[in-house]
Amino acid sequence: TKEGKGVYHMSSLLNELEYSKSEDDQQENTAGETTLPSVAAATESTNSSEYEGAMITSDNSFVESHVKVMGLGFITNMAEYMVAADVLVSKAGPGTIAEAASLSLPVMLTSFLPGQEEGNVDYVVQGEFGTFVSDSDPQGISDVVASWLTDVQKLKHLSANAKKCGAPDAAAEIVEAIGESALRWKNINDSKHAKS
């Protein structure tokens, strides 16, 4: 972020993170292909729909036991990175958390706006699909993310809990409920006018 916190500050530490997974422990993606873990890190921009992002991946051809960080700058296709990721590192934005949960994506929250986003941290922590470590503690963030990436069972547990908390069809259900309500009111109005 512009203040020097968030994705790029954190990613410099994550770049040093040791990653020691055997080939047997590699994750399976939704297509059933074996992939190495990756982390999508995002910081929502306050004045737009853009994200400051970094994709953090492990690559066997890179120095073994390390994580590779690719700074992406501002991106508008965060959903594509979230689908490919095993963990999301972000501030406690409600839309981002909802998207992550609907994708069964574990979440590492690093900051929140007092008042309006505090409840989002509780939702993630109580839902057991992520945790909060302040962006003022980048080493703590990297330690937790490293523990998740090196524990397949923990990632599966977090992912399953995210799926339970997620509501991928929420928008369609809301539109349907609004439509049903509008139809009921129309019928009530029509019956009142028919009696007059």
HEC secondary structure over 66-116:
ECEEEEEEEECCHHHHHHHCCEEEECCCHHHHHHHHHCCCCEEECCCCCCC
What is the layout of strands, in order, in the sheet containing 87-90? 68-75, 51-57, 38-44, 87-90, 107-109, 130-132
Can you tell me the distance from the alpha carbon of 143 to that of 149, in angstroms, rounded to the nearest whole number? 10
pLDDT, position 22: 35
**Blockwise average pLDDT, block size 10, the chain, 196 residues:** 36 38 38 43 48 50 52 82 89 92 94 93 96 93 90 94 87 91 93 82
* Domain range list for the chain: 7-165, 168-196
Strands 87-90 and 107-109: parallel
Task: Return the beta strands (E) in 58-143 as ranges.
Answer: 68-75, 87-90, 107-109, 130-132
pLDDT, position 21: 32
Can you tell me the distance from the alpha carbon of 174 to that of 109, in angstroms, rounded to the nearest whole number? 27
pLDDT, position 30: 42
Domain 7-165, classified CATH 2.40.10, yes or no: no
pLDDT, position 25: 39
Residue with tokens 């982390």: 39
